[in-house]
Amino acid sequence: MSHTAIVTGGTRGIGAAISMALSEDGHKVAATYAGNDEAAEAFKTQTGISVYRFDVADFDQCADSVSRIETDLGAVGILVNNAGITRDGTLHRMDFEQWNAVLQTNLSSCYNMCRNVIDGMRERGFGRIVNIGSVNGQAGQYGQVNYAAAKSGIHGFTKALALEGAAKGVTVNAIAPGYVDTDMVRAVPEKVLEKIIATIPVGRLGYASDIARAVQFLVADDATFITGSTLSINGGQHMY
């Protein structure tokens, strides 16, 4: 069945691949973004997918935008909380802005978005929420106490909301990607990246499409018994 799907950060990188995959599956997709209008317009032109600009760290903007998307495309059945940023630095050099920006954008965003779709999903007895975590939320990473804390928080958020939605037809799952070839990872210095790739048994970075295919699986109408899970997709880099 076709649903309205919101993919936050859906105009670039992993989110763009998710938006395109869900659109190919027949869903009406709203791809959201923060401020890179050029990338968003190019994505819209290339795919025909609707784009919406707002800050996922701001509750009121999320409320207004969900309402606008529902007017344009219909009640939201699928939400993929994918938008995320890094502001790396060791804790002894990290200022509050670096900490707070990552916590607000990567973790509070899950509250901001879920809170604005959950009532409707519960009332209609159908919802699919997928939160994008990270291998670094599972394993920790040097220079990323902010990012690891936010991503680790996503995994707890997912399990708690899964319990709340289970009897109402709302499934909530997380994906923990390893290193995926996007702008975020291309910003890592080449020498550091080489070392990272050497720790990936599959011997390469992930493709954004490796993550998108898992989202397609988790949001399917008949994926009714998969909830509260975290799917690790990392080329074998971290198993537990």
Non-local CB neighbours of 192 within 8 Å, separated by 6+ positions: none
The residue whose two tokens read 């992930």 is 206
The residue whose two tokens read 């940023």 is 85
Minimum distance, C-beta of residue 234 to ligand NDP, in the bound complex (Å):
8
Task: Out of 33, 111, 142, 147, pick the active-site residue.
Answer: 147
Of 126 and 147, the one with the shorter C-beta distance to ligand NDP is 147
Sheet with strand 127-132: strands edge to edge: 50-53, 28-33, 4-7, 76-81, 127-132, 170-177, 230-233
Of 62 and 126, the one with the shorter C-beta distance to ligand NDP is 62
Does residue 147 have an active-site annotation? yes
Interface ranges with ligand NDP (CB under 6 A): 8-9, 11-15, 32-36, 39, 55-57, 82-85, 105, 132, 134, 177, 179-180, 182-185
- Residue 46, phi then psi, degrees to nearest 5: -70, -35
Minimum distance, C-beta of residue 93 to ligand NDP, in the bound complex (Å):
21
Of 169 and 181, the one with the shorter C-beta distance to ligand NDP is 181
Minimum distance, C-beta of residue 228 to ligand NDP, in the bound complex (Å):
19
Concatenate the DSSP letters of all residues of 44-93 into one string.
HHHH--EEEE--TT-HHHHHHHHHHHHHHH-SEEEEEE---------GGG
Minimum distance, C-beta of residue 225 to ligand NDP, in the bound complex (Å):
26
Q: Which residues are catalytic?
A: 147
